[in-house]
Structure 1
Amino acid sequence: MDKYIYDESNGLWYELQGDYYIPCLVLPAEEEQPVGLWGQRHLHYLKEYRRGTYINLLTSGRLNAYLVKIDKQAQERFERLIEGMKRTQGITEQLKAENGFEWIRRINNILACAWEIVNEEIIFA
């Protein structure tokens, strides 16, 4: 028996593994870009709860680009939420100078709220 065979009907090579011929499949090349925190969290979510979407993106070679896009979108939303909430609640540098502990308390509250909103709208959607 040959270790490798070529099937002209579908253009695939097959490798002998034990008693069976298994297709030699290669994922399409994808430009690797760094994925930030938001993208990594979304990747974990896809692997855990949206397995079909994850497999589809992985096998089509679009996973990394998709995660980079999600990461950028989530980070931009997070920053806009923080700035909007700070403006709405009147949190200024003057408050920081006058009462640092109050400023920290209010900023931490805003960060927690923005984190939850981004999770709901983008990461776990």
Structure 2
Amino acid sequence: MDKYIYDESNGLWYELQGDYYIPCLTLPAEKENKPIGLWGQRHLRYLKEYKRVTYTTLLTNGTLNGYLVDIDEQAQDMFSRLIKQMAAKEGITEMLKVENQMLWIQRMGNIQIRAREIINTELIFN
């Protein structure tokens, strides 16, 4: 028996494994392979656990990495924008940082936690 055979009816190659011929399938290569940041990794984990169909579709189309990079960029932009807007609305300035560093750290930490929660709700776990 041949190790590999080609089926002209469907255009697939098959490999002999044991007594069976298994199709030789590969995933399409993605155009760009940019690194995925923290937000993209969180969304990837969410897709794998709770949105298997979406994950599988993106993976087999070869668009998963680009999609995750886009989510990561959106989340990072949203995080920066939310931090600036919340700090301005609550009157947290550089002057407060000079006068009372511990209060500034406490309030900025609180803002970051709220911003992360908003991003998780609207982008990552949606």
Per the normalisation by structure 1, the TM-score is 0.97
- Verify: 1:2 aligned to 2:32, yes or no: no
1:116 matched residue in structure 2? 117
Superposition map of 1:62-101 within 5 A:
62-101=63-102
Unaligned runs of 5+ in 1: none
Would you say how many aligned residue pairs link Structure 1 and Structure 2?
Answer: 125
What do you get for the CA RMSD once the two structures are aligned?
A: 0.7
Shift of 1:19: 1.4
The list of structure 1 runs, each at least 4 consecutive aligned residues, that deviate by more than 3 angstroms after superposition, is none
- Listed as ranges, the gaps of 5+ residues in structure 2 are none
Percent identity of equivalent pairs: 69
Q: Structure 2 length normalisation: TM-score?
A: 0.97
2: CA distance between counterparts of 1:93 and 1:9? 71
Q: What's 1:29 paired with?
A: 29
2-side partners of 1:32 and 1:24: how far apart?
24
1:61-101, CA deviations, whole angstroms, 9 ceiling, x for partnerless residues? 10100000000000001111100100100000001111111
1:42-71: CA deviation from partner (whole Å, max 9, x where unpaired): 111111111111111111110100000000
